[in-house]
Amino acid sequence: MFIDNYEERIAESSVLTDPHTPIISIPVFRCSKSHQSCVICGIEIISAKVLSSVQRTMIFLKRGVFVSPGSRCWSEHVVKKQLTVESFDKVCISRTDCWTLDSFGLQVLLTDIRSMLLQQNSFNFDDPTSLNEEAYKTIVGLTKGIHM
pLDDT tens, residue by residue, 91-111? 988 888 888 888 888 888 889
> Among 100, 98, 147, 102, which Cα is nearest to 125's?
147
What is the CB neighbour count within 10 angstroms for residue 49?
Answer: 17
Is the pLDDT at 32 greater than 50? The verdict is yes
pTM of the model: 0.62
If phi > 0 it is left, if psi is from -120 to 50 it is alpha, else beta; for residue 6 that is alpha
Those residues with Cβ within 8 angstroms of residue 20's Cβ, 6 or more apart along the chain or in another chain: none
- Each domain of the chain, given as residue ranges in start order, spans 23-120+127-147
